[in-house]
Chain A
Amino acid sequence: MKPPRFQYWAPGSLAEALEGLWQLEDQGYTTKLLAGGQSLMPVLNMRLSAPDVIVDLNHLAPELSTVQEVSETLHIGAMTRHYQLESHPVLGARAPIIAEAERYIGHVAIRSRGTIGGSLVHADPSAELPLVLALLQGTVTLQSRESIREVSAQDFFVTYLTTAITSTEILTAITLPTLPPGSGQSLEEVASRPGDFAIVAAAAQVTLDSDEAIHAVRLALGGVSSVPLDVSGSIAFLVGEIPTAQLWIECTQSLADLVEPDSDVHADSAYRKDLTVALSRRALTHAWQRARQGASLGSIGNKGGEG
């Protein structure tokens, strides 16, 4: 299990990288972009991919790992690594679901190197960050020498391990809305072992108005489809309701009919449907409780209490 032969190029700046990708495409080279390498390197070691050129983006890390908040929007550089995301003070306050998601991602060594951009481009439908992007209706910035485009989560994730990015583009940034006032977020998942990709994951955001009625509610599911699935529409009817614990039980009951997950050796389709209901309920309930507390951080540290 050793990587195949390739030529190596480590551009020093984004501009250089974009120019180079364009030229390499022109000259007929196949390329792979190396960010944290936590998904690409296993693929290379198993020789499931044999690009002509590996373009190592790690010299771009200083340029592409800034986190900025601009008028209720978060801009996260694509080379921001998981360990930076999990403890970033701005993200902790303004998008607490990211820190919550990070607790489920891989293990410490994976989080040392892996990047948010790499995770999104890998597009595993049971991965946590794609789920967060789908939940929050975030966008990614895809840049090439010739263009720069903002692509929504829905358009970005095409199918299993496939996105809308082209071979001359680099995913440079992720844009997410900040947590609206009166909101709570939650991500719940079941995995075979801690740190594994989820069998099913559910992410929710609940926004309450001043009367504690639902102002907005969002829900997205991972592990039940070829892409992370935004199912907010199916619970939109809740807007205006005053939630109770019972309401979340009732509104999630029918979610099982909404998804057609595949079976695999670790979990069959019926179990994934069961988890869809159980985890959606849990995520919505927690998000609601957090919205009521008006707290975004205080209570999310309790991972793994239920396996």
Chain B
Amino acid sequence: MNARQRRIEDPALLRGNIPFVADLHFAGMLEAVVVRSIYAHAMLDVVNVQPALESPGVKTVVTAMDLPSACGPIPMRLSPSSELEAALQYPLARDRVRFVGEPIAVIVAGSRYEAEDARPGVEVRYRPLTATTNVRQAMKNPVLFDTLDSNQVYQHRQYHRLVESKEPDPTLRQLHLSFSIQRHTAMPLETRGLVAVPEDGRITVYGATKVLHFNRRVLAGFLGLDVTAVRLVEVAVGGGFGVRGEFYPEDYLIPWLALRLQRPVRWIEDRLEHLQAANHSRQQEHEVDVSYDDTGRIYHLHDEIIVDTGAYIRTHGVTVPELTQGMLPGPYRWQEVDTQLRVVLTNKTPTGTYRGPGRFEGTFVRERVMDAIASTLHLDPLTVRQKNLLTVDTLPFSHGMQALGEEIVWDSGDYPLALAQAAHLMAKEEFPRRRAAASARGRRRGLGFAMFVEKSGLGPWEDCRVAVDADGRFTCWTGLSTLGQGTMTALTRILAETWGVSASQIRIVHGDTDQVPESHGTFASRATVMGGSAAFYSARTLKSRLQALAAPLLEAHPEDVILTDRGAEVTGVPTVAVSYKDLVEESVRQALPLDVTERFSASAMTYPYGVHGCELEVCPNTGMIQIVRYGVVYDVGRAVDRDLVKDQIVGGVAQGIGGALLEELAYDEQGQLVTGTLMDYLLPGFCDVPEIAVMITEVAPATSNPLGIKGAGEGGAVGVAPAIANALADALNAPPEAFTTLPLRPQDILRWSRMDQLPGKGAKR
């Protein structure tokens, strides 16, 4: 077994001496505070900033009136669509606010304390409008945007039939279920933040991450500057999970203010702002109809998906809804899939992606349906799954669904094997004994599973530059970000293994638009697949150049030349070597630069998959649950570093548990966020997350990249809610309609528990 590889990111983080954005300090730096709407929906009749301007320490206060005309609404980065453009958000509200937390003004002062002191001095006279807080109401209520006909801002039907079917088969069983997934979001431990520093006609923005180059283009456009006058720099980043690094209003406002004031300006979002104004996610309703026969074979999957997208369309456009729809069918063979997507505006915080966007929601729906089908037939849910899974010989396979501009094609996998492995990992054979023992203690015990297919490696391309100097120091320039995943450790490992040199010889330069000309960024589990593959290609090219240069000097074939930390030598002959100094000199002589950039392009995503298993006990008196066993099988194709993959899975499960059981961004009827602190928005803690067993497999390498790797960022989160819901239904003998609403609260668990108090009910298997 390999020893665990220590992450190169960690020593500085452990000492606390690498700066996060809030740790940066520049001479003359000012601090900004954003004044936000306290109404969910209102006209702004008057905004008077004069009292705030008179508050001690205040340098300036700006509103939408002060913004230059070049500043339009914030554009979509993904899935742009012209029909959505009417609902884009301007950096500051102009005459109307549409959610609590929408920016109205910015105060810049000597310190955050002084800026907050001035906040009551921004006097806003609101004329309240009716707040629309749920999607059903929204379809009837007055429109949020006068240029739209309806608050249903987008709809899309995807209908695909695999076989020329005859008339609907009347012998098939039908099941209708309604699902609801609550609004919740990523909630990284570090809030968002920026420091903008103007110097010599340029502006440098610290605190950027994820998609630096896209954001640089948007910012340069808004500021009326050439992109070369805008530099975005990533410092240490306290977690992203989808929400951080998108272009938000402050990403324009703070640099613009810094230029205007010709002073460094720092803005650090506080937690209450983060809860109100950073992207929310996940809120959907599903009306599902499925048909299946008495043996459990599934036929039709119909789903009406209604997405509460909040008050504006943000950078993700309708990515989350489209992914929900496109990936809904999962690893099963459906004869017919018919999905109707409706995206609806409400007076709530706008939404974006959060780890496993669309799959957390769709997997919950589909996998709960699979268990519900099994329960109506009194079959083991795994039997029903095995009956319908796509098999190795049927892959690649497509239901014809689309998302992110490409057809969703399951590329490779052995889904039945993964399911069998999960049953083994969860010791399913011995479960009846454990259930009986729990029963003797007055506890109800259940075991549930959920399968998922994930996506990764979104294109179109990624570059990587590598070089070596005369001291044998290798440098890699990448456009990737690291938001905690250990991306730089993974890249270093790919490079070290390709070259055969120690990790300590390799330095990675990243997160600086001055150092890396272009990149598509780090999201959608694309970093290691795309950036890693680019690194592999460039490393291979550099290596072959070094081999070509060394071979004549060593009087050997290039293929027999290996690299070490000291230089090049002939394999098996360590006594004769050429130093990097000599190789660099030779490269100059031959005009064969030891500085290489290669591009990796991918036209299709690659799809990892896996299974979650959850065993839990329910207290029949309180409805409180205890997860006693949790396991994940995850096929990553090929792992660069299995420990890093495991880290991602375990962390993802914890977030999935939050989404399944605890977290909710709840609103009242006036559109006020009622879970606006971390006392009410409940993140899972040490005692809420069980020990998690992870089995990483490498059964089905990706065929679309040279390393065979698939991404690992999101599979940990997506299967948790259905695994828990299915385990609950199993524990309580609950009917199909049980546990279809998230989060799964003790009060609902207790209610379903009460319905199963009848003596004699029990062992279903």
Contact = CB atoms under 8 A, between A and B. Distances in A.
Q: Do chains A and B touch in the complex (CB under 8 A)?
A: yes
A195 B112 CA distance: 31
B662 interface: yes
B757 interface: no
A155 interface: no
B148 interface: no
Contacts of B677: 46
Given A46-B272, A274-B750, A267 B745 contact: yes
A214 to B, nearest CB: 23
Given A2-B116, A265-B680, A274-B750, A307 B272 contact: no
Contacts of B684: 193
Nearest to A199: B746
B272 A194 contact: no
A265 B687 contact: no
B558 interface: no
B685 A4 contact: no
Given A196-B682, A265-B675, A265-B680, A190 B747 contact: no
B82 interface: no
B682 A270 contact: no
B271 A1 contact: yes
Contact of B624 (A3, A190, A270): A190
Interface in A245-271: 264-268, 270-271
A3 B624 CA distance: 38
B675 to A, nearest CB: 6
Contacts of A306: 619, 621-622, 624
Contacts, number: 72
Contacts of A59: none
A159 interface: no
B169 interface: no
A307 B270 contact: no
Contact of B626 (A4, A265, A270, A307): A307
26 contacts: A1-B270, A2-B113, A46-B272, A47-B116, A190-B622, A193-B684, A193-B687, A194-B685, A195-B685, A196-B679, A265-B664, A265-B666, A265-B680, A266-B745, A270-B747, A271-B747, A271-B750, A274-B622, A275-B622, A281-B621, A282-B621, A304-B687, A306-B622, A307-B619, A307-B622, A307-B624
Contacts of A304: 687
B747 A268 contact: yes
Interface in A161-210: 190, 192-197
Interface in A269-295: 270-271, 274-275, 278-279, 281-282
A5 interface: yes
B484 interface: no
B622 A192 contact: no
A264 B272 CA distance: 20
B559 interface: no
Interface in B667-706: 674-675, 677, 679-680, 682, 684-685, 687-688
A46 B116 CA distance: 10
Interface string B112-131: 11001100000000000000
A2 B112 contact: yes
A1 B680 contact: no
Contact of B746 (A46, A47, A271): A271
Interface string B622-660: 111110000000000000000000000000000000000
B625 A307 contact: yes
A265 B746 contact: no
Contacts of B664: 265
B682 A192 contact: yes
B623 A271 contact: yes
B756 to A, nearest CB: 15
Interchain residue pairs A-B with the least CB separation, the first 6: A307-B624, A271-B747, A278-B621, A1-B270, A265-B666, A2-B113
Interface residues of B, number: 31
Nearest to A274: B750
Given A1-B271, A193-B687, A307-B626, A267 B619 contact: no
Interface in B607-631: 619, 621-626
Contacts of B680: 265-266
Contacts of A4: 116-117
A195 B687 CA distance: 10
A302 B158 CA distance: 54
A194 B271 contact: no
Interface string B267-281: 000111000000000
Contacts of A268: 747
Interface in A34-62: 46-47
Contacts of A196: 679, 682
Interface in A1-25: 1-5
A193 to B, nearest CB: 6
B111 to A, nearest CB: 8
A267 B746 contact: yes
A197 B685 CA distance: 15
A1 B272 contact: yes
Contact of B688 (A193, A266, A267): A193
Nearest to A188: B622
Contacts of A267: 745-747
Nearest to B270: A1
Given A265-B680, A267-B745, A306-B619, 6 more contacts: A47-B116, A192-B682, A197-B679, A267-B746, A268-B747, A307-B619
Given A193-B684, A193-B688, A271-B746, A278 B622 contact: yes
Contacts of B272: 1, 46
A195 B113 CA distance: 30
A196 B625 CA distance: 16
A192 B662 contact: yes
A68 B747 CA distance: 43
B617 to A, nearest CB: 9
Interface string B741-760: 00001110010000000000
Nearest to B754: A274
B116 to A, nearest CB: 5
Contacts of A281: 621
Contacts of A1: 116, 270-272
Contacts of B624: 190, 306-307
B3 to A, nearest CB: 33
B754 to A, nearest CB: 9
Interface string B383-422: 0000000000000000000000000000000000000000
Interface in B545-599: none
Contacts of B619: 306-307
Contacts of A307: 619, 622, 624-626, 746
Given A1-B272, A193-B687, A265 B117 contact: no
Contacts of B113: 2-3
B555 to A, nearest CB: 67
Interface in B46-103: none
A259 to B, nearest CB: 15
Contacts of A192: 662, 682
Nearest to A197: B679
Contact of B682 (A2, A190, A193): A193
A291 B146 CA distance: 71
Contacts of B688: 193-194
Contacts of B682: 192-193, 196, 266
A283 to B, nearest CB: 12
A54 B675 CA distance: 29
A203 to B, nearest CB: 16
A192 B750 CA distance: 14
Contacts of B625: 307
Interface in B273-315: none
A246 to B, nearest CB: 15
A304 B684 CA distance: 16
Nearest to A306: B619
